[in-house]
């Protein structure tokens, strides 16, 4: 008598009962796929937006420059106070110095508008989790820049001028041109404003997972040497006083940032 044929597998048997069978894949979308992303934008629209934001930034800088040029005489007296009496040797030197000073002040006045335009352009390309923190960092960047400029003008510039003018002698008296002095003061203020962005740069690198607090602490000696090298590069004059005056706040900001990093 022939053996009976094996019974067919139950169609309703559970997957666990069949050796090597896999459970059916879930059809529910993952949270990453379920997140609604910004719709793609054509390149022409990106370029049009960039053009519009550049125009707004330039107009705001021009408006700030025009406003400050009206009071450029008093502004020049205020800036020249740490140096005392200044001179100009060319017919257009005084006028061009007022223009440069007004342009520098107009840039500072318009910097919030410029930062807002930059933020508005790049925000669409950022992940949602980055948009809120970076919006706060953009505002903090402006106030840190003002803090660096204020420290340079009210503290470092008067002390640097006293140090530099003391390098003269009885027969060697200073006769400073107004354009060279204003250029020196503006470069010093910009250097301090740029260095005061260090905490924000380190925080962004830390949140992005590029550097950690332990890594920065282990490289502290290299950071100290780099701070003095950067100060020597950024300061407008060759004097050691300005370089040390820029390097010390840089190191203080570095140490303070280490306290708040994860």
Total structural domains within the chain: 1
Q: Is residue 67 part of a domain?
A: yes
pLDDT at 174: 82
Average pLDDT over residues 50-63: 94
Q: How confident is the model at residue 237 (pLDDT cuts 50, 70, 90)?
A: low
Q: What is the pLDDT of residue 22?
A: 52
DSSP the chain: -PPPPPPPPPTT--GGGSTT--PPPP-SPPHHHHSPPPPP--HHHHHHHHHHHHHHHHHHHHHHHHHHHHTHHHHHHHHHTTT---B--STTHHHHHHHHHHHHHHHHHHHHHHHHHHHHHHGGGS-HHHHHHHHHHHHHHHHHHHHHHHHIIIIIHHHHHHHHHTT--SS-----BHHHHHHHHHHHHHHHHHHTTHHHHHHHHHHTTS--HHHHHHTHHHHHHHHHHHHHHHSSSS-HHHHHHHHHHHHHHHHHHHHH--
Residue 15: inside a domain: no
Q: In percent, how much of the chain has pLDDT > 70?
A: 83
Per the domain annotation, does 28 fall within a domain?
Answer: no
Band (pLDDT 50/70/90 cuts) for residue 33 is very low
**Domain, as residue range, for 110:** 42-260
165-184 pLDDT tens trace: 888 777 888 888 998 899 88
Q: Is residue 1 part of a domain?
A: no
The mean predicted confidence, pLDDT, of the chain is 81
- Of the pLDDT bands very low, low, confident and very high (cuts 50, 70, 90), residue 18 is very low
Q: Please indicate, yes or no, if residue 6 is contained in any of the structural domains.
A: no
More confident residue, 120 or 114: 114
Residue 13 pLDDT: 46
Please tell me the predicted confidence (pLDDT) of residue 14. 46
Query: Does residue 25 carry a pLDDT above 70?
Result: no
Residue 21 forms part of a structural domain: no
30 in a structural domain: no
- With respect to residue 24, please indicate whether it lies within any of the assigned structural domains: no
């Amino acid at each position: 008598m022939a053996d009976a044929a094996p019974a067919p597998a139950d169609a309703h048997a559970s997957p666990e009962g069949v050796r090597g069978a896999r459970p059916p894949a879930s059809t529910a979308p993952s949270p990453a796929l379920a997140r609604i992303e910004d719709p793609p934008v054509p390149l022409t629209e990106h370029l049009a937006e960039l053009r519009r934001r550049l125009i707004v930034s330039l107009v705001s800088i021009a408006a700030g420059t025009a406003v400050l040029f009206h009071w450029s005489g008093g502004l020049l007296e205020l800036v020249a106070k740490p140096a005392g009496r200044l001179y100009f040797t060319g017919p257009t030197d005084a006028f061009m110095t007022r223009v440069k000073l007004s342009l520098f002040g107009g840039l500072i006045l318009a910097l919030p508008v410029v930062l807002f335009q930059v933020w508005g352009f790049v925000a669409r390309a950022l992940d949602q989790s980055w948009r809120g923190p970076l919006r706060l960092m953009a505002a903090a960047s402006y106030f840190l820049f003002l803090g660096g400029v204020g420290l340079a003008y009210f503290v470092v510039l008067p002390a640097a001028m006293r140090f530099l003018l003391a390098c003269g002698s009885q027969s060697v008296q200073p006769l400073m041109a107004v354009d060279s002095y204003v250029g020196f003061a503006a470069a010093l203020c910009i250097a301090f404003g740029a260095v005061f962005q260090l905490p924000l740069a380190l925080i962004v690198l830390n949140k992005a997972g590029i550097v950690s607090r332990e890594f920065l602490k282990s490289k502290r000696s290299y950071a100290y040497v780099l701070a003095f090298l950067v100060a020597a590069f950024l300061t407008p004059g060759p004097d050691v006083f300005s370089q040390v005056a820029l390097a010390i706040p840089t190191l203080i900001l570095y140490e303070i940032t280490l306290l708040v990093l994860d």
